[in-house]
Amino acid sequence: MLIASSVLLLAGCSSTPPRKDGSTPNTDPMSAGQVVQTDFDRTVTLAMRDNLNSLYRLLDKLYRRNPREWRKSGQPDVDAAVKWVKGLIEKRQPPPGLVGLQDIQVLSVSLDPKYTGDRVAAFIYGLADTIIAAHNGKRVFYPFSKLDGQRIYNAARDVEAADWMLATRRTASGEPLLLSNEMGKGPANLSFEREFGEIIGRLDLVASLLGENIRRIGIDYVQSLLLFNFLPVR
């Protein structure tokens, strides 16, 4: 009852006033699970949420620039195709024809010029599964969650490599595997590049914070000894 009351109180106090332009920060409603999360756990959870949302935006953009791909999966339209791929990511179920493969394996196949399946579905699924795998298969984090900063750092480099290959890989006839950034005579469309950059930045930040979090635990312990801070017993 005490926890539930605290959650309701915090939820009531957590509403954010709108900005002058009417927008508000992208925040989640208060939940009981957040009560047991540390600030660090919450930061990593929000980074994971935002990384997946970035991938979903890339998914929609890629399908709209490459409509032949969603048609390969038999979907009636772009919106249905986006919803379908999101469902695969949620269940961590590879696209048809790629069952048994995971994370960077799916990513590698999606960037193979010989692959004839839905390349957008495979590419975005492979990126999402790579990021989730680097976080030990978790999307929400608590004090007992085990994370390896090196694996998350490696995931950031995998996203960098995937971004570069997406921009440079060609079919046998010299066409891009997938149309993404547009560099024509008019204004350049670099929205894909921005999304990739944000994902890489978040992953690098979490990797750095993991090392700092462990270091701070040791420093706090040493400081408590130096300052002779006793723990309360009642």
Contacts of 114 (CB under 8 A, 6+ apart): none
* Terminal-residue alpha carbon distance, the chain: 22
- Specify the pLDDT at position 27: 62
- Specify the pLDDT at position 218: 47
- Specify the pLDDT at position 188: 52
- Specify the pLDDT at position 5: 43
- Specify the pLDDT at position 180: 87
Q: Which residues pair with 182 in a beta bridge?
A: 189
CA contacts within 13 A on the Cβ side of 139: 12
Contacts of 196 (CB under 8 A, 6+ apart): 58, 159, 160, 163
Cα separation, 103 vs 95, in Å, equals 12
- Specify the pLDDT at position 136: 94
- Specify the pLDDT at position 3: 42
**pLDDT tens for the chain, residues 1 to 234:** 444 444 333 444 444 455 554 545 566 665 656 666 888 899 999 999 999 999 999 999 999 999 999 999 999 999 999 999 999 999 999 999 999 999 999 999 999 999 999 999 999 999 999 999 999 999 999 988 889 998 999 999 999 999 999 999 999 899 999 998 765 555 456 788 899 999 999 999 999 888 765 444 444 444 444 444 444 434
Cα separation, 72 vs 121, in Å, equals 10
The separation between CA 93 and the C-alpha centre of its own chain, rounded to angstroms, equals: 17
Are 102 and 133 spatial neighbours (Cβ–Cβ below 8 Å)?
Answer: yes
- Specify the pLDDT at position 190: 72
- Specify the pLDDT at position 102: 94
